[in-house]
């Protein structure tokens, strides 16, 4: 069993005042600790084989399919339903009510009755009802452009255009992946002790990787039906480059704020990993070569990352210029990674985070144990006997960042987070222009801290917190957070999340990078598309492809 | 109908917020409702919603005062008090799906939850996260 060791505690971690700012969280890159990566490593370590156990599709690709695998002594199945969808109904938003395909990760092998039950519910997603046998549910929409292009090319016996494959990156994108008991599916505790599924979002990552495989099979099926004998299958290199897309909106942001213990564990693991590689005194020739190759790969990946968003484009332009101008790292020097990371501090935040992620990549033996510290399964506790003086001291130590926001100014609390009655879609409102602030979600952490401090001033320093909360129950939420943050310096996003200038997209990118996402494609400050599992092993090549797929680059076909 | 414990916790938390209870208190009683409901023990949603907000705040204060006192063996009367104390001290419990929640109490929780949602307007729909019309690209 691994842990953050006592020797780690002597390492110098980056300060949470640096790490937990929105700009930096919004510049995160996937690392080898990302959940998609660790899930694939678990599959490889367990010798997992995926079997397509059912395939019942009409020539247009509508029907049902199941895939089955054994992991850690348990059997799981992905159940997929593919339906005809009118173009007018194809929306990635939460308020959509129909999708091209719907999925469940099923605990065991489904019987016909299970499939019939799920066929009546899964296509309706949130409007359906589920059982403990369903561990995760999801849905996806086609990238109509790419799916059609790939199907038509394969039907004619040709491979799809590699540039188009690279620029879009996926045949379908998921628009929600639900876990932990939503709509009656299994609670996370049902499987969190099972080998291979214990990590954060491991079951969701397994589901999404299997969905990616389904999209590959689906497009080949449609092409075969169209082209008959002329049709060909996808070149494995192109297939590998076809990840699975995802559209993510505001719903992901409250998750980060509502789970401070979990978020600390994610960031603490990553920061500990960075500190560990900084402490490496010298590299072997093989490690130096690997880092050099990875640096070139990162440059190529970034050169192939193009998005319409003006802000992200400007950041990528700067990043490309910085990487182009950087001097050749001296891999033979003492503490070469510390030198490289220190060099990056004079570059953009995107560059700093990319370099940090790069430096982790070759050191699985040193770092991968940290993935076992990233879940949070312990019960939460609260000590109401703590004194006013003690909670004030905690605020002074861990929440001094809240003092910097002048919440008397209107722009500092311009926005409010809420849930719309329209399919419970999470949204952001303008406090001074829209109704609904009375139903605000408690993401205003800095403001809550300031309000608590104001009210604590009226109490004796020796008074217990429970006396404060008897007359001020509204402070219970922030008091719990303050206690939880005592041993967890990375528990809080250290910015004002209701400020007019706050960009939710920063929160989304942080979480998605921990999933393993690449090619962030912001569509506004409120939502983004991304690609998962680009370059990841296909189901039939887990052992031979291995773990080396960080920041995939456009495939070069041998026949091209 | 059976329920996951997390949906009992989250739904009850929202219901209590909808009834005007502070989020931090509602979260504790959502968790206690799930704890009470676990493994068919009882209808934890009904057990919590039977108490008004002031009663829940007072109950929480009484139990935390008892837990904080030196005479920590002071009796906690009733199942709800005991489960609340166990929750506050983080004591593990056998977790199993909730099967004893009545349709009426679940509907009551959903109705109260609805009070936490902001009514839809055209402006908020267009300003929401997403393409707005459709995503046929």
Q: Where are the domains of chain A?
A: 6-31+257-377+505-514, 35-249+537-545
User: Would residue B137 count as lying in a domain?
Assistant: no
3 state SS of B46:
helix
Q: Closest chain B residue to A175 measured between Cα atoms?
A: B130
Residue A560 has pLDDT above 70, yes or no: no
Kindly state whether A480 is in contact with chain B, defined as any CB-CB distance less than 8 angstroms: yes
- Nearest one of A323, A327, A317 to A347, comparing CA atoms: A323
Residue B73 has pLDDT above 70, yes or no: no
- The shortest C-alpha distance from A171 to chain B (Å) reads 11
Concatenating the DSSP letter of every residue in A154-174 gives HHTT-PPPHHHHHHH-EEEEE
Closest residue of B to A385, CA-based? B68
Q: Is residue B13 one of the residues assigned to a domain?
A: yes
For B130, the closest of A87, A424, A527 (CB atoms) is A527
Mean confidence (pLDDT) of chain B: 90
Exposed, middle or buried: residue A325 (CB in 10 Å: 0-12, 13-18, 19+)? Answer: exposed
Max Cα distance, chain A (Å): 84
Question: Does an H or E element contain A426, and which?
Answer: strand A426-430
CB-based contact B118 A92, cutoff 8 Å? no
- Range name among A24-33, A164-173, A199-208, B37-46 with the lowest pLDDT average: B37-46
DSSP A327: P
Q: Are A105 and A75 in contact (CB under 8 A)?
A: no
Q: What would the two tokens of residue B21 be?
A: 């209870």
Residue B128 lies in a domain: no
B134/A87 CB distance under 8 A: yes
Quote the domain boundaries for residue B20: 5-117
C-alpha A176/C-alpha A181 separation (Å) is 14
Residue B129 in domain:
no
Q: Which residue has the tokens 């059982």?
A: A131
The pairing of strands A426-430 and A518-522 is unpaired
Nearest CA to A399 out of A329, A486, A462 is that of A486
The pLDDT assigned to A252 comes to: 86
What separation in angstroms does the CA of A130 have from each of A110, A138, A335, B7?
14, 12, 53, 12
**Tokens read off for A490:** 């990375």
A91 with B134: Cβ contact below 8 A = yes
CA dist A301 and A29 (Å) reads 12
Q: Which two tokens stand for residue A504?
A: 């939710």
Q: Is residue B123 part of a domain?
A: no
CB contact under 8 A, A439 and B117: yes
- Dihedral through CA A87, CA A92, CA A96, CA A101, nearest 10? 70
Residue B106 lies in a domain: yes
Q: Which residues of B touch A143 (CB under 8 A)?
A: 137
Pair B15, B109: CB distance under 8 Å? yes
| Distance (Å) from the alpha carbon of B132 to chain A's nearest alpha carbon | 8
Element (H, E) at B55: helix B53-68
Contact A95 B130 (CB under 8 A): yes
Report pLDDT for A407. Answer: 87
Beta carbons of A51 and A67 less than 8 angstroms apart: yes
Which among B3, B92, B118 is the nearest to A418, CB-wise? B118
CA gap B87, B73 in Å, rounded: 17
Which tokens sit at A548?
């080396």
Q: How far is A529 from chain B (nearest CA, A)?
A: 10
What Å distances lie between residue B67 and A117, A552, B24, B93, CA to CA?
47, 55, 19, 19
Query: Which of A493-502, A532-541, B15-24, B77-86 comes out lowest in average pLDDT?
Result: B77-86
Give me the phi and psi of A71, to 5 degrees please: -140, 120
**Which 3 state secondary structure label does DSSP give A517?**
coil
Q: How many other β-carbons are positioned within 10 Å of the β-carbon of residue A124?
A: 15
| Cα torsion angle, A459, A461, A464, A469, sign | positive
Using an 8 Å CB-CB cutoff, list chain A residues near B117. 418-421, 424, 439
Q: Which helix (H) or strand (E) holds B78?
A: helix B78-88
- Structure confidence at residue A479 as a pLDDT band (50, 70, 90): very high
In a domain, B28, yes or no: yes
CA-nearest of A34, A31, A32, A14 to A494 is A14
Q: What is the mean pLDDT of residues A382-404?
A: 95
C-alpha span between A153 and B121 (Å, rounded): 44
Q: How many domains is chain B partitioned into structurally?
A: 1
Instruction: Establish if B51 belongs to a structural domain.
Output: yes
The arithmetic mean of pLDDT across residues A260-272, rounded, is 98
pLDDT tens profile A344-358: 999 999 999 999 999
The helix (H) or strand (E) run that includes residue A417 is: strand A415-420
What is the percent of chain A with per-residue pLDDT over 70, rounded to a whole number? 98
**pLDDT band of A426, cuts 50, 70, 90:** confident
pLDDT band at A430 (very low <50, low <70, confident <90, very high): very high
**What is the DSSP code string of A229-298?**
GG--PPPHHHHHH-EEEEEE-TTHHHHHHH-HHHHHHHHHHHHHHHHHHHT-----HHHHHHHHHHHHHH
In the block, tokens 């940290």 appear at A370
Q: Which tens digits make up the pLDDT trace of A160-171?
A: 999 999 999 999
Averaged confidence pLDDT in chain A: 95
How far apart CA A265 and CA A419 sit, in angstroms, is: 27
Contacts A–B by Cβ distance under 8 A: 168
Joined together, the tokens standing for residue A96 give 């959509």
What was the pLDDT predicted at A414?
Answer: 96
CA distances from B92 to A94, A465, A470, B35 (A): 35, 25, 26, 10
Identify the DSSP state of A73: T
How close B29 gets to chain A, by Cα (Å)? Answer: 12
Per-residue pLDDT band for A93 (boundaries 50, 70, 90) equals confident
Residues in A 233-252 with any Cβ partner in B closer than 8 A = 247, 249-250
Alpha helix ranges (H) inside A406-553: 445-456, 465-471, 476-484, 504-515, 542-545
């Amino acid at each position: 069993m691994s842990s953050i060791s006592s020797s780690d505690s002597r390492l110098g971690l980056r300060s949470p005042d640096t790490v937990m700012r929105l700009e930096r969280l919004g510049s995160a890159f996937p690392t080898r600790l990302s959940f998609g990566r660790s899930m694939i490593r678990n599959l490889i370590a367990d010798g997992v084989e995926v079997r397509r156990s059912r395939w019942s599709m009409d020539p247009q690709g509508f029907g049902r399919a199941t895939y089955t695998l054994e992991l850690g002594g348990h059997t799981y199945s992905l159940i997929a339903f593919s339906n005809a969808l009118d173009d007018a109904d194809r929306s990635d938003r939460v308020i959509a009510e129909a999708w091209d395909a719907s999925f469940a990760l099923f605990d065991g092998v489904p019987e016909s009755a299970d499939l019939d039950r799920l066929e009546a519910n899964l296509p309706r997603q949130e409007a359906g009802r589920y059982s403990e046998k369903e561990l995760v549910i999801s849905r996806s929409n086609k990238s109509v452009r790419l799916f059609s292009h790939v199907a038509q090319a394969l039907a004619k016996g040709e491979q799809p255009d590699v540039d188009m494959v690279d620029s879009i990156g996926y045949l379908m994108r998921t628009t929600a992946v639900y876990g932990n008991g939503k709509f009656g599916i299994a609670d996370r505790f049902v499987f969190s002790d099972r080998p291979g599924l214990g990590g954060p979002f491991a079951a969701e990552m397994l589901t999404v990787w299997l969905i990616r495989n389904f999209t590959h099979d689906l497009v080949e099926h449609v092409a075969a039906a169209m082209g008959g004998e002329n049709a060909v299958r996808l070149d494995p290199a192109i297939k590998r480059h076809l990840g699975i897309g995802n559209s993510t909106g505001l719903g992901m942001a409250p998750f980060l704020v509502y789970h401070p213990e979990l978020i600390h564990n994610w960031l603490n693991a990553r920061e500990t990993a960075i500190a560990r590689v900084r402490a490496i005194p010298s590299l072997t020739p093989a490690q130096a070569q690997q880092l050099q190759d990875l640096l070139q790969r990162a440059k190529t990946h970034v050169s192939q990352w193009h998005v319409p968003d003006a802000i992200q484009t400007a950041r990528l332009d700067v990043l490309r210029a910085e990487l182009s101008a950087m001097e050749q790292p001296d891999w033979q020097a003492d503490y070469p990674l510390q030198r490289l990371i220190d060099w990056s501090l004079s570059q953009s935040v995107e560059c700093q985070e990319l370099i940090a992620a790069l430096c982790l990549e070759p050191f699985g033996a040193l770092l991968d144990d940290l993935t076992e510290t990233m879940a949070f399964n312990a019960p939460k506790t609260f000590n109401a006997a703590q004194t006013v003086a003690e909670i004030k001291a905690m605020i002074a130590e861990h929440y001094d960042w809240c003092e910097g926001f002048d919440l008397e100014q209107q722009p500092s609390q311009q926005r409010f987070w809420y849930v719309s009655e329209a399919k419970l879609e999470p949204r952001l409102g303008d406090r001074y222009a829209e109704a609904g602030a009375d139903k605000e979600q408690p993401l205003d952490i800095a403001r809550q801290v300031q309000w608590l401090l104001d009210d604590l001033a009226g109490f004796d320093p020796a008074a217990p917190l429970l006396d404060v909360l008897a007359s001020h129950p509204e402070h219970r939420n922030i008091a719990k957070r303050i206690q939880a943050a005592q041993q967890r310096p990375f528990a809080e996003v250290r910015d004002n999340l209701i400020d007019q200038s706050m960009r939710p997209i920063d929160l989304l990118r942080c979480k998605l990078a921990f999933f393993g996402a690449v090619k962030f494609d912001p569509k506004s400050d409120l939502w983004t598309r991304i690609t998962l599992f680009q370059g990841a092993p296909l189901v039939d090549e887990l052992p031979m492809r291995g773990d080396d797929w960080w920041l995939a680059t456009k495939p070069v076909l041998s026949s091209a | 109908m059976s329920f996951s414990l997390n949906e009992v916790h989250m739904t009850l938390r929202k219901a209590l917020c909808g009834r005007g209870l502070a989020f931090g208190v509602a979260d504790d009683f959502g968790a206690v409702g799930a704890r009470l409901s676990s493994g068919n023990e009882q209808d934890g949603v009904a057990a919590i919603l039977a108490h008004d907000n002031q009663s829940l705040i007072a109950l929480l204060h009484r139990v935390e005062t008892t837990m904080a006192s030196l005479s920590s063996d002071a009796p906690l009367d009733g199942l709800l008090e005991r489960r609340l104390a166990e929750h506050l001290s983080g004591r593990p419990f056998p977790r199993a799906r909730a099967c004893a929640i009545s349709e009426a109490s679940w509907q009551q929780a959903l109705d109260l939850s609805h009070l936490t949602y902001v009514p839809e307007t055209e402006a908020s729909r267009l300003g929401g996260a997403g393409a707005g019309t459709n995503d046929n690209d």
